[in-house]
Amino acid sequence: MKFVDEATIRVQAGNGGRGCLSFRREKFIPFGGPDGGDGGLGGSVYLRAKEGINTLADFRIARTFKAQSGEAGSGNEKTGRGGEDLYVTVPVGTTVIDEETQETLGDLTQAGATLLVAHGGKGGWGNTRFKSSTNRAPRKVMPGLPGEKRTLRLEMRVIADVGLLGLPNAGKSTLIRQVSAARPKVADYPFTTLFPNLGVVSVGLNRSFVMADIPGLIEGAAEGAGLGIRFLKHLQRTRVLLHLVDVSPPDPDADPVKDARAIVAELKKFSPELAARERWLVLNKLDLLLPEEGEKLCREIVRRLRWKGPTYRISGATGLGTRELMEALMSRLEVLEAERREAERSSDSEGSHLATTAWTDDARSASRGGAAADEGGGDVQPAVDAGADAGDGGGGGGGD
């Protein structure tokens, strides 16, 4: 199946049912009155993430999704049956964007996550609702409200811990083949990778992470050159980026440093946030050079790039240095995960502390209010009842 990471669909919630115009007519009840029930609620449309789906290709065929409408009300004040909600299954990692407003409605990053994208219409009122002391036989009913309609753009962003970044033929696919069971296409010409590939890298018992290989970038990608930057969105969920640099490019006039800077520039054009993400420099294809020559060239590249971050020298084809790189990545990901959990615990603790502080402040205010009431000899009503009981409170004060 061809990989599809974008799709446009139309969703329409069900309309509300119409209210009923009916009068109670029974033997021995001469003044029956109106008894028309309300219409039922229209069904809503939800998107639900499901594991095992790796593409949005199914939405090439089915593009419109409509929930069931509510039924009309009936006599004896019976409300119409509500329409059933519609659940549309999408892959885990789908981002939902309103095509008209460009608002991001949600991000389905976990299996079973559900997102409401279109509200069902409310049912119309039956004539019972309009009964009053001056209108004993109302003949007015309301139609159901229409369900919400939306045009949505679905974007699938693969969920991976580590993302590979680099020029075409930098060795990204070769590396992911070397360290995982993924088998992306490898050839001696550029743009052999036409869609993202995922590989699970195992470095020990219960220690593994997911690596993403995306199509290569070239200079001018932000303006549409090559495959453009449409696949860079798949790196937005990653925690660490590996910037692969070919130390021995096939073109003798190519400059690895210039090419590396061009990739960084395209990254900044696409997303400053993504460009600021933790990035490691990986100098690849050292098997094509003599050890002394490769060592000298690597030092020169690092010096010219003024690189201060982690640097690794590998050969994706022979596996040289890949084990050490994967071990280091696993250790770093474990640290990042521990920091994330600690931040969540701190946030929860702070929220609990604020709630406790607010409750204590309210209790103190109530206590002070009670003391004031005892001193003044009057009753102090809670603040939430002040508006509703203003008249009664005034009367009570006069009585005292």
Q: Do domains 6-156 and 162-338 have the same CATH topology?
A: no
> What are the domain boundaries of the chain?
6-156, 162-338
* pLDDT at site 22: 93
Give me the CATH topology for the region 162-338.
Rossmann fold (3.40.50)
Q: For the chain, what is the mean pLDDT?
A: 82
pLDDT bucket at 184, cuts 50 / 70 / 90: low
Query: Strand 279-284 and strand 114-118: pairing?
Result: unpaired
Between 75 and 230, whose confidence is greater?
Answer: 75
CB atoms within 10 A of CB 60: 11
* pLDDT at site 399: 39
DSSP state of 202: E
Q: What is the pTM of this model?
A: 0.67
* pLDDT at site 346: 83
Q: Any idea which residue has 């299954």 for tokens?
A: 89
Under DSSP, is residue 88 helix (H, G, I), strand (E, B) or coil? strand
Lowest pLDDT segment from 96-105, 153-162, 223-232: 223-232
pLDDT bucket at 79, cuts 50 / 70 / 90: very high
Q: How far apart are CA 163 and CA 233, in angstroms?
A: 11
- pLDDT score of 333 more than 90: yes
* pLDDT at site 185: 58
b (16+ CB within 10 A) / e for 87-125: ebebbbbbbbbeeeeeeebbbbeeeebebebbbbbbbbb
CB 18 within 8 A of CB 144: yes
Q: Which CATH number fits domain 6-156: 2.60.40.10, 1.10.8.60, 2.10.10.90, 2.70.210.12?
A: 2.70.210.12
Q: What DSSP element (H or E) covers 359?
A: helix 322-376
Q: Kindly report, residue by residue over 267-316, the tens digit of the pLDDT.
A: 888 888 888 899 999 999 999 889 899 999 999 999 999 999 999 999 98
Share of the chain above pLDDT 90, in %: 46
CB atoms within 10 A of CB 271: 15
DSSP state of 249: -
* pLDDT at site 196: 77
| 226-233: long-range contacts, CB 8 A cutoff, minimum separation 24 | 226/168, 226/191, 227/191, 227/194, 229/266, 229/269, 229/270, 230/5, 230/6, 231/5, 231/195, 231/196, 232/267, 232/270, 232/271, 232/274, 233/5, 233/155, 233/157
Average pLDDT score over residue span 82-101: 94
Average pLDDT score over residue span 70-99: 94
Q: How far apart are CA 167 and CA 146, in angstroms?
A: 51
Residue 209, beta-bridge partner list: 201
pLDDT bucket at 219, cuts 50 / 70 / 90: low
Q: Any idea which residue has 């036989």 for tokens?
A: 137
Q: Kindly report, residue by residue over 336-393, the tens digit of the pLDDT.
A: 989 988 888 887 777 666 665 665 555 555 545 444 444 444 433 333 343 334 334 3
pLDDT bucket at 173, cuts 50 / 70 / 90: confident
CB neighbour class for 203 (10 Å; exposed up to 12, middle 13-18, buried from 19):
middle
The string of DSSP letters for 153-200 reads EEEE----SEEEE-STTSSHHHHHHHHSS------SSS----S-EEEE
Per-range mean pLDDT, top range of 19-33, 44-58, 113-127:
113-127
CB atoms within 10 A of CB 295: 13
